[in-house]
Amino acid sequence: MKVEWMDYSGYKEYEQLNPPFEHGVTILDLIFNEGDRAKEFMKSFDKSR
Residue 48: the pLDDT is: 59
Does the predicted TM-score (pTM) go above 0.75? no
The answer to whether residues 27 and 19 touch, using CB atoms and an 8 Å cutoff, is no
* Largest distance between two CA atoms of the chain: 39
Question: For the segment 15-43, what is each residue's pLDDT rounded down to a tens digit?
Answer: 999 999 999 899 999 999 999 999 999 99
DSSP designation for 36: G
Provide φ and ψ at 33, rounded to 5°. -85, -35
Residue 5: the pLDDT is: 82
pLDDT band at 46 (very low <50, low <70, confident <90, very high): confident
Q: How far apart are CA 30 and CA 42, in angstroms?
A: 9
